Structure formats: C-alpha cells, structure tokens
Amino acid sequence: MIKTEMDTVATLCQLHTDLSGEDIQKIQEVVQNLQLIADLNQANVFIDCQTREKKHAIVVAEAAPSTAKSVYKNPVVGKFAYETFEPAVFYTFRTGKPLFLNHALSQEGKKVEQSVVPIAGIQNRVIGTLIMEKDISEKLKNQSKLKALTEANETLSELLLGMAENQPFIPEVIEESLFIIDKDLRIQYSNPAAMNLVLEMCSLEFERGKLFTAYFPNLAEICRLPDELVIQEVMIQNKVFQMKKIALVQHENNCGSFIIFRDLTELREKERELTVKTVAIREIHHRVKNNLQTVASLLRLQMRRGIPEESKVHFVESLNRILSIASVYEIILSNSQNQDDVEIVSLIEKIGNMLVFSEDHEGKTIMIDYSGPKLFIKSNLAVSVALVINELIQNCVKHAFAEMPEGQICVVIQEVSSAVRVLVRDNGIGYTPFAKPSLGLEIVKMMIEHDLSGHFAIEGTSEGTVATVEFPLIRGGLIE
C-alpha cells in the first residue's frame, strides 16, 4: 500500500510540478507518516504541491483518520486546488509561514477548520504544504445555538428584572414559589406563593428588599454558586423542595438570580410508600415460594416413608404442579427490575427442565428445547401458564414415548398479532383421544378458558403430537 502511494506521489509530481528528485523524495518521507498524523489529530491530512505555472496546486497524497469520521466522502488525490478556495494554502506557498485553525470550505463544500504548514526542501524552499482539516459544521451549529441561548437569557433577564421593578407578567396564581434576588441576595420580587412559603416555613413576616438568606440561611451556599443553572433538592422545615436557581445576566454581568421552589414532599412520600410496598410484595412472594417448597418437601417425605404404588403417580403429579407454581415466584424474586413480571421462556424452561431432567424415565432418553421472543406476563397469570405448561410437558413425558428408547420435545413461543401462542410438540406415538379426558387436560382447558381467556387444541400428526395454547396479550398484561 505504501509503495503504491509513493509511486502515485512520484507520478503526480513529475507530471504536474517542477520538483527535483530530491524534493519528491522529501515529500515521500512525509507521506510515510501521513496516516499516523491523521489518526493522532483525528483529522483528514493532505499534501499539496504547486504546479509548474504556480497558478494552482495539486493534491499528491492524503490520509483519512481511522480514529474519527472522515471529512471527505471521495478521494481527492490528483485533484487541483485553486487559490480562490484555498487561500491559506497559497499564503503558505508564497510566505513559507504556517497558518493554524483557519476556517475554510472543503472541496466537497463542508465547513472545516484548516491548518497549513510548509514542507521545506533544499535551501528551505517551500516544495509542498501539509494540510490538516477537521469538520466544524456541528461546532458552528452549537455556537449558533449558544449565541441564541445567550440572547434569550439576556432578554429573559431584562423581563424578570423589569418585572421586579414594575408590573409582574408571571401569573400570580402560579403554584411554584418564585423569587427574584439581586447580586447582593436581596429579594426584589416574590409571588404570593413565595410569600406564603416564607410565612409557613420561616414563621416570619415577608419583607421585600430583605436578604433572601435571612429567611433561608441553609441555602446561602447554593445562592452564591456562579453556575448559570443550578437544580437541587433542599430540605426546609422537614419538607422537600426542588430549588432551581437561574442566573440573570445583562451585558455579560451577573445581575442576580431567578429562584423557583417546587414542593416535592408529597411526591417523595408516595415514592417512599411505593418502596415500602415493593419490599412487602417481595417478602410475600418469598414466603409463598417457601411455603410451596415446604409443601413439596412434605410430599417427598411422605413418598419416601412409603405410599401405595397406585398412589405414587398422583403424588408425583401433585408435586410437579406445586413446584411449577413455585417456579413463578423464583423467577419473580430473581427479577430485580420489576417485582411482578415473569418472562415466559425462562418460566417454561425452568418447568420443562424440572420435568425432563430431574427424574429417570424408565431408561428412556428424553430431550427438550425451547425457542421464542422475550415476553413478560403478570405473576397472577403466570401461575396459570405455569400449570398449563406443566401438564402439557408432563403429558408428553408420560404418554408420548411408550416403547420408544428416546424422544424429543420442542416448546415454541410465538407472538401472533395481539396474542401469545405456545406450541408443545413431541415426536412420539401420536395423540389418541380418550373417552374421558385426563385430569391434566381438564386442568389445561379450565385454566386457558377461564384464567387466560384463550383457547386450547391438541392433535396427532404424522410426526407425533402438537398441543397449541393461545391467549390474548391485552388480558395477559404482556409487555415487550
């Protein structure tokens, strides 16, 4: 790449300039460091050399920064530069002096900050110029905005100071307490809400012209801050206020401050109550989970102590239902952001893994996988979903792979229009409806229709069985 650049420099210089071989070699030495210069300064850099006629210059090398956005969309090597558009470059050619931070237009019409330094050859003759350009269009835009903001601030200051001296234009019925104080911190204006604040919080008669800090001594430090805008929460007599201090400036001189008090006491109290409720709800969820696990432990203990063989299957089913509900609360407690939302895929995965991998299935190898978008459901409905999924996966484990050495279960969650669809597929022997539905399928049907306002279908296919559960997003309180 460097060799190609060197060849380009030599070719352009030989075709368009009167530079000697030694001069061209000097230009090539600078080109070797061109990319490093561009990266270091986060700017586009170029080398221009004057043509034989000395009327124009030609770009013989360039480098765009890899550390910042390039000013140019297209390469400019081989293009001519004209004095009309590049006065700084030709100034350096004529005088041998550098120019820094000159505002110019790029060849693509962008506003740039341009610096030019000469490249000296034999006897310090200028043989080229090293040019650095940075895009300043955004900087100029921000400066324009700042200027407009400064003008607006001056206008506001004049209005507010005039309001303190004459008739106020701010409505007297405004709820916030407003003060205008001069640079010596003396009150020049206050609205009725501000006067009431003084009477209520300070138990003193309000007096215009009095020091603001005589009423609010704990705010003296904030009042003396030089910042144009200060926003802080402050305590006044066990009440919480948001205090805004806006500097009033006229002709670049500080003329005082505009102070606004907003009572946040009720808002902060509600936030505190909400925090207490959140902690209480979390504690309730924790206790429910512990109680369910206690019941599960009692069932396991009973099973270990011995139960009739024909009852064992019912104990296992009941145990799995209890643990499925407990899974809902485990996920809620693991979610630090929202104490009442349960992510569906995580819930289904937890239940499925418990049913498939925690027990020996008479020597069968059963695998299960899950897929679907990240969707959340409220905890009260998550309990119903957990029971439904428990029954469907348990049904696959118990009945789908009779006389088969291995089996595969797939659970797919889909978001369809304004509903959630859950598909539970297996590659087993296929579904055969019984004259009397099992308790598990009755639970599924009841939960879906009554709790989730959805519908349920199960059918056999050439590849096994597919159970489909669908329920609306709105009733489920789902969020993305």
Instruction: Please say if the pLDDT value at position 118 is more than 90.
Output: yes
Looking at residue 436, its pLDDT comes to: 63
**Domains, in order of start, for the chain:** 2-135 (3.30.450.280), 145-263 (3.30.450.20), 268-476 (3.30.565.10)
56-63 vs 177-182, strand pairing mode: unpaired
Looking at residue 416, its pLDDT comes to: 83
Task: Tell me the per-residue pLDDT of 386-430, one tens digit each, with 9 for 90 and over.
Answer: 888 888 888 888 888 877 888 889 999 988 888 888 999 998 888
Q: Once rounded to an integer, what is the mean pLDDT over residues 432-436?
A: 65
- Distance (Å, whole) CA 383 – CA 228: 54
Looking at residue 478, its pLDDT comes to: 43
- CB burial of residue 252 (10 Å; 0-12, 13-18, 19+): exposed
Q: Once rounded to an integer, what is the mean pLDDT over residues 434-438?
A: 63
- CB burial of residue 253 (10 Å; 0-12, 13-18, 19+): exposed
- Distance (Å, whole) CA 239 – CA 266: 9
**Mean pLDDT for all residues in the chain:** 80
pLDDT > 90 fraction of the chain, expressed in percent and rounded? 15
Q: How confident is the model at residue 14 (pLDDT cuts 50, 70, 90)?
A: very high
Instruction: Please say if the pLDDT value at position 47 is more than 90.
Output: yes
- Distance (Å, whole) CA 365 – CA 371: 21
Task: Tell me the per-residue pLDDT of 287-316, one tens digit each, with 9 for 90 and over.
Answer: 777 777 787 777 777 777 777 777 777 777
Listed in sequence order, the residues at least 6 apart from 393 whose beta carbon sits closer than 8 Å to its beta carbon are 351, 352, 355, 356, 368, 409, 411, 424
Looking at residue 145, its pLDDT comes to: 62
Q: Max CA-CA distance within the chain?
A: 110
Q: What are phi and psi of 478, to 5 degrees?
A: -80, 150
Q: How confident is the model at residue 50 (pLDDT cuts 50, 70, 90)?
A: very high
Task: Tell me the per-residue pLDDT of 452-478, one tens digit each, with 9 for 90 and over.
Answer: 888 888 888 878 889 999 888 754 344
Q: How confident is the model at residue 278 (pLDDT cuts 50, 70, 90)?
A: low
Instruction: Please say if the pLDDT value at position 46 is more than 90.
Output: yes
Counted residue by residue, the chain has a size of 480
Instruction: Please say if the pLDDT value at position 158 is more than 60.
Output: no
CB 347, CB 335: distance < 8 Å: no
DSSP symbols for 344-387:
HHHHHHHHHHHHHHSS-BTTBEEEEEEE----EEEHHHHHHHHH
**Which token pair is 327?**
């899974």
Report for 138-147, 218-227, 335-344: range of highest mean pLDDT: 218-227
Q: What are phi and psi of 68, to 5 degrees?
A: -160, 170
CA atoms within 13 A on the CB side of 145: 6
177-182 vs 187-190, strand pairing mode: antiparallel
User: What 3-state DSSP class applies to 410?
Assistant: strand
Lowest-pLDDT choice from 220-234, 244-258, 329-343? 329-343
Conformational region of residue 238, where left means phi above 0, alpha means psi within -120 to 50, and beta covers everything else: left
DSSP symbols for 87-130:
HHHHHHHHH---EEEEEEE-TTS-EEEEEEEEEE-GGG-EEEEE
Q: Once rounded to an integer, what is the mean pLDDT over residues 436-442?
A: 72
Instruction: Please say if the pLDDT value at position 75 is more than 60.
Output: yes
> Which of 256, 186, 193, 247 is CA-nearest to residue 215?
186
